Amino acid sequence: MGRNLALNLADHGSRVALYDPWPEAREAFAASSSAQVDSLALTASLQDFVAALARPRRIILLVKAGDAVDAQITALTHLLDAGDLIADAGNSHYRESERRGARLAAQGLQFLGVGLSGGEAGARKGPSLMVGGSPEAYALVENTLRQVAAKADGESCSALLGGDGAGHFVKMLHNGVEYAAMQLIAETYQALRAHLALEPAEIGAVFARWRQGSLDSYLTGITAEILSHEDSASGGPLVDVILDKAGQKGTGLWAAKAALELGVPAPTLLEAVSARALSMLKEEREAAEGRLAAASRPEATTDVADLEQALLASMICVYAQGFAVMAAGAREFGWDLDLGRSASVWREGSILKARLLDAIVAAYGADPALPNLLVAPALSDMLARAQDGWRRAVAALALHGTPAPALGSALAYYDSYRCGRLPADLIQAQRDFFGAHGFERIDRPGSFHGDWGGQGSNDP
């Protein structure tokens, strides 16, 4: 990714110095034709790299998140002058970016935490860039980042979103939504196979058709391509010879943990992380398949139209959950986070590129203080139209015994959010009964304790 971003920068007129601590990587780059670009200077040491930069120096790190970032920052700070900038464009945790920003500020250096989406291809052709840091630090690279970023309707998909950790926080939630969106698509694929006996290529054609409507997205598009791809060794669909175990690098888990820590319901994001963990229990699942009772209604089925509505409605709920966590994070950390702008930078260059983002940008443009995307008029209308098919699909999947944790949790989230009275009254009473925690009443303020006839416990 670092090499591709450097080439992108060079394409847009920047003079770029590069350094990689691994000699093999430097040799491979030097051997490539791209190394002949006049505006690229490949250096053999960190000292040569820093010396090749004009002041104030502007350095972009693209290294593995964690200790490697701190080690590289430490090595650089001994060579830099006050006012120089270090931007971390790896998948760092937002709290680490907050810490690094404070550390560098104390040394008179500038810092940016840059969330980058789009993978290697995006880095080369135009990524989505979510930036956190001070306006002064951003001003040093704003024009450059806006030039190399993807463009949506002529607008650069690069923006300063808040303080040092804001960029990586938004990127973290981007990845949490990405996890959930991928899980929703995978469940829909499984439903089409289990209920309609469609072959992968036929399902690929379904996804290709869905791309013509509200479900148009990068992920829908690559799903259509994947499912139409044949395996050269077996001659059958490639997807059929891929092991059903999906790993994770941690950003989805970070997003789920952030939602829990901030007290924001994001059940579908959590389900997506859990689904990947469950997929890793391959041997246990195979052993349980013949031992646990199957569904009693195997004849229950759904159809393509209902699954399309279920996927669309669930996607809306996933975005609603992700943006609710982002709003809570902004309040918690004091970031002036423009949620509409955050959605806008995902419209191109991002793994989450989707037609739905246009409606989300419009929703926040009409009401920046929107409490939840579910109540935005355009999106609530889409949910209303999709609701019947969504419910039929989820019910059929449950009756048939086809696992759909993400589709089901999205529907439960929708129903819970639209429910004016939830059974938390009973939970309050239970907590008071066994722990004397007290409860609130609907008819007067204050905290109360129930007279449980001496049955309650006063355990702390």
pLDDT at 460: 39
* 169: its two tokens: 């926080």
Q: Identify the bridge partners of residue 60 per DSSP, sorted by sequence position.
A: 87
For residues 384 and 395, what is the distance between their CA atoms, to the nearest angstrom? 17
Q: Which of 96, 142, 151, 178 is catalytic?
A: 178
**Is 171 labeled as catalytic in the residue annotation?**
yes
Enumerate domains of the chain plus CATH numbers.
2-164 (3.40.50.720), 171-417 (1.10.1040.10), 429-460 (no CATH)
DSSP H or E run through 456: none
pLDDT in tens, 81-131: 999 999 999 999 999 999 999 999 999 999 999 999 998 899 999 999 999
- Predicted TM-score (pTM) of the model is 0.93
Q: For 3-60, what is each residue's pLDDT tens digit?
A: 889 989 988 988 999 998 888 888 888 877 666 677 788 898 999 999 999 999 999 9
Cβ-contact 389, 309 below 8 angstroms: yes
In degrees and rounded to multiples of 5, residue 217 shows phi and psi of: -165, 165
Contact call for residues 266 and 373 (beta carbons, < 8 A): no
User: How far is 410 from 323, CA to CA, in rounded Å?
Assistant: 15
3-class secondary-structure state, position 451: coil
Predicted pLDDT at 36: 66
CB 338 within 8 A of CB 161: yes
Query: Residue 249's pLDDT band (boundaries 50, 70, 90)?
Result: confident
Cα–Cα distance, 428 to 449 (Å, whole number): 10
Q: 239 CB contacts (<8 Å, ≥6 apart)? A: 200, 226, 227, 229
**pLDDT tens digits for range 120-178:** 899 999 999 999 999 999 999 999 999 999 999 999 999 999 999 999 999 999 999 99
Is the bond preceding residue 56 a cis peptide, omega within 30 degrees? yes
The pLDDT tens digits for 412-452 are 999 999 999 999 999 999 999 999 999 999 999 999 999 99
* Catalytic residue from among 64, 142, 155, 171: 171
**Whole-number Å distance between alpha carbons of 10 and 16:** 7
Catalytic residue flag (residue 151): no
Summarize pLDDT for 302-352 with one digit per residue, the tens: 999 999 999 999 999 999 999 999 999 999 999 999 999 999 999 999 999
